[in-house]
């Protein structure tokens, strides 16, 4: 017989379902994601630390999981909430079923609940804290109390928690995976990537464009990074509130005193904005999905993008040195910025997708162009 599970929200709503993961309980912020594919990439995206995700697509688990689709080395998301787990997982790439994977990784999950109702609640009230309990002795009152006690992501510095301990050269076995580059020696540029919770596909896309990558911990001082003499500096995505990451904001300020090209994604974008004097704010329920239209303001073109953020840069606080380059066509919120006085720009959504459409991938090319231009002007 299936094991029971409950999901309690801080507003007192309780959903009863079946457990599809480990026994136990977990409390985090509940967000909805509208992607139709990519559940494994979502689960392993470090930006989901201290969040649990409900997927609006009803059938999750159809293609199982495999060792290649992980965006990091663990499941960071604190729980999975779905409508229906298929009885059979089927794909030539499948190595394990989703429920076995969740159990093996010790992550709780709940299925057979009305995820449309849950999403409507989150859309109306904004992201809420929730508690999943799975196994025996489920106690609704304790679960509601746990959800109510969750402090919320505002003010939470999580980049420090999910980052790596030591700097390293990123290889995966990328050198032979990526076409045209078989050894690190063939790489034209050296990029230092700050790991605030980086996704593997970002690193792959930089490598594909000829970058040798040194990945450094979130708290690495600017002086250490500058001593590596990089051609470009990348600021990664990551979980939590950008505002308390004072160590990162300070380092980015110092980096911006140089002429080294900088590119930021998501948390990295928010940190670039904070280091430039803008402010960030918590959104009502954020953007989580792979179908978000974003406009490139200057060209007027529209791209369909992958998104996963709950904070945003406040357009009204941009200093004179920042221009807004992109905006969301869902809610008009700011999606991209560029420094007017430096070679530094950033994007709120996820140009690396994984999962999602590849419309914004050319931003990586722009970073490479900026690096080439900076190298050319250094030589001149």
Ligand X SMILES: NC(=O)CC[C@H](N)C(=O)O
**Bridge partners (DSSP) listed for residue 216:** 194
* Given the residues 243, 266, 287, 326, the one annotated as active site: 266
Q: Is 69 helix (H, G, I), strand (E, B) or coil?
A: coil
Q: Is 310 annotated as a binding residue?
A: yes
Nearest CA to 134 out of 103, 106, 110 is that of: 110
C-alpha neighbours within 13 Å on the C-beta side of residue 52: 31
- Give yes or no for residue 347 binding ligand X (CB under 6 A): no
Of the candidate residues 25, 35, 47, 72, the single one contacting ligand X (CB under 6 A): 47
- Give yes or no for residue 132 binding ligand X (CB under 6 A): no
In the complex, the smallest distance separating the C-beta of residue 192 from ligand X, rounded to whole angstroms, is: 18
Q: Give residues 217-276 in contact with ligand X (rule: CB under 6 A).
A: 237-240, 266-267
Of the candidate residues 308, 333, 335, 354, the single one contacting ligand X (CB under 6 A): 308
Alpha-carbon distances, residue 267 vs 131, 159, 359 (angstroms): 25, 9, 20
In the complex with ligand X, the residue whose CB is nearer, 48 or 57, is 48
Q: Which residue is nearest to ligand X (CB)?
A: 266
Q: Is 174 helix (H, G, I), strand (E, B) or coil?
A: helix
Stretch that binds ligand X, among 35-43, 57-65, 83-91, 305-313 (CB under 6 A): 305-313
Question: Does the annotation mark 77 as catalytic?
Answer: no
- Give yes or no for residue 349 binding ligand X (CB under 6 A): no
The H or E element containing residue 274 is helix 267-275
Of the candidate residues 76, 234, 285, 311, the single one contacting ligand X (CB under 6 A): 311
Dist. CA 227–CA 160, nearest whole Å: 22
CA 208 vs. chain centroid, Å, equals 20
In the complex with ligand X, the residue whose CB is nearer, 201 or 237, is 237
Q: Is 34 helix (H, G, I), strand (E, B) or coil?
A: coil
Residue pair 108/22 in contact by the 8 Å Cβ criterion? yes
Q: How far apart are the first and last CA of the chain?
A: 73
The H or E element containing residue 273 is helix 267-275
In the complex, the smallest distance separating the C-beta of residue 318 from ligand X, rounded to whole angstroms, is: 17
Stretch that binds ligand X, among 57-65, 80-88, 307-315, 353-361 (CB under 6 A): 307-315
Question: Does the annotation mark 266 as catalytic?
Answer: yes
Residue pair 238/46 in contact by the 8 Å Cβ criterion? yes
Q: Is 311 annotated as a binding residue?
A: yes
Annotated catalytic residues are 266, 350, 352
As annotated, the binding site for L-glutamine includes 47, 238, 240, 267, 270, 308, 310-311
Positions in the binding site for ligand X (CB under 6 A): 47, 237-240, 266-267, 308-311
């Amino acid at each position: 017989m299936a094991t029971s599970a409950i999901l309690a929200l801080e507003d007192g709503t309780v959903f009863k379902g079946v457990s599809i993961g480990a026994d136990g309980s977990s409390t985090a912020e509940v967000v909805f994601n509208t992607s139709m594919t990519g559940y494994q990439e979502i689960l392993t995206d470090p930006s989901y630390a201290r969040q649990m995700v409900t997927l609006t697509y009803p059938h999750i688990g159809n293609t199982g999981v495999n060792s290649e689709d992980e965006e990091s080395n663990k499941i960071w998301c604190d729980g999975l909430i779905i409508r229906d787990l298929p009885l059979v997982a089927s794909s030539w790439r499948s190595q394990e079923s989703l429920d076995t994977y969740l159990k093996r990784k010790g992550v709780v999950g709940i299925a057979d609940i009305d995820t449309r109702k849950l999403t409507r609640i989150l859309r109306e009230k904004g992201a809420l804290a929730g508690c999943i309990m799975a196994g025996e002795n489920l106690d609704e009152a304790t679960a509601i109390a746990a959800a109510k006690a969750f402090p919320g992501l505002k003010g939470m510095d999580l980049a420090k928690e999910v980052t790596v301990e030591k700097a390293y050269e990123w290889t995966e076995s990328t050198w032979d995976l990526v076409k045209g580059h078989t050894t690190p020696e063939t790489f034209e540029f050296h990029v230092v990537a700050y790991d605030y919770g980086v996704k593997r596909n970002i690193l792959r896309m930089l490598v594909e464009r000829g970058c040798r990558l040194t990945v450094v911990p979130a708290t690495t001082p600017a002086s250490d990074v500058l001593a590596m003499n990089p051609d470009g500096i990348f600021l990664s995505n990551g979980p939590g509130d950008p505002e308390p990451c004072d160590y990162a904001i300070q380092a980015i300020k110092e980096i911006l005193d140089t002429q080294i090209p900088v590119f930021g994604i998501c948390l990295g974008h928010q940190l670039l904005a904070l280091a430039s004097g803008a402010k960030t704010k918590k959104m009502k329920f954020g953007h989580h999905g792979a179908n978000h239209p974003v406009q490139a303001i200057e060209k007027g073109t529209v791209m369909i993008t992958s998104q996963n953020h709950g904070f945003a840069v406040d357009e009204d606080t941009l200093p004179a040195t920042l221009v807004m380059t992109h905006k969301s066509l869902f809610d008009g919120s700011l999606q991209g910025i560029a420094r007017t006085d430096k070679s530094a720009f950033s994007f709120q959504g996820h140009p690396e997708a994984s999962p999602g459409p590849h419309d914004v991938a050319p931003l990586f090319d722009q970073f490479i162009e900026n690096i080439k231009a900076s190298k050319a002007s250094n030589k001149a």
